Amino acid sequence: MAGAFQFELVSPERLLLSEEATMVVVPGAEGEFGIMAGHAPMMSTLRPGVLRVSGAAGDDQAYYVRGGFAEAGPKGLTVLAEHAIALNDLNADDLARQIKEAEEDVTDADDDATREKAAVHLAQLRDVQAALAAA
């Protein structure tokens, strides 16, 4: 078993989680990455996705996070997410609505750049829906 490190999940409204974790999988802007104890210092922005925490006590938690960044330093890992909800609390209908809005954004886009951006956003939301369905 690898060593534990301090993990904090912070939303603008409050500190959601602060505990010892053995591994955290973060949905980074350029792909998911796992952080374990002793990881080299790094900083990455987030894409909407599911963040998985393996607690030191053997408990696993999953959060839906959107917007923000993750900072892995010598002191541990801090994830600052603009929106963070426990996956269990995430409403499937709410997500479906967001996906529908994103679909509209794709069709309404005026130029290629906006369309591409909206399409990426849509794909990310679909990923989350798949993750929610699997959970």
Partner 1 sequence: MPSLKDLRNRIASVKATQKITKAMQMVAAAKLRRAQEAAEAARPYAERMEAVLANLASAFEGRDDAPQLLAGTGKDDVHLLLVATAERGLCGGFNSSIAKLARERAKSLIAQGKTVKIVCVGKKGFDSLKRDMGAHIVKTIELRHVKRVAFENADEIGDLVRQMFEEGEFDVCTLFYARFQSVISQVPTAQQLIPAIFGEAAELDAVYEYEPDEAEILEDLLPRNISVQIFRGLLENAASEQGARMSAMDNATRNAGDMINKLTLNYNRQRQAQITKELIEIISGAEAL
Positions in the binding site for partner 1 (CB under 8 A): 8, 10-15, 28-30, 40-45, 67-69, 71, 73-75, 78, 80, 82-83
Ramachandran class of 124: left when φ > 0, alpha when ψ lies in -120 to 50, beta otherwise:
alpha
What are the C-alpha distances in Å from 133 to residues 51, 82, 85, 91, 128?
A: 15, 23, 16, 11, 9
* Least spacing, CB of residue 11 vs partner 1, in Å: 7
Q: Count of alpha carbons within 13 Å of 98, Cβ hemisphere only?
A: 17
Return the residue matching tokens 């130029």: 111
* Least spacing, CB of residue 133 vs partner 1, in Å: 26
Nearer to partner 1, 82 or 103 (CB): 82
Nearer to partner 1, 16 or 119 (CB): 16
Nearer to partner 1, 69 or 115 (CB): 69
* Least spacing, CB of residue 28 vs partner 1, in Å: 6
* Least spacing, CB of residue 37 vs partner 1, in Å: 15
Q: What is the DSSP string of 28-49?
A: ETTEEEEEETTPPPEEEEB-SE
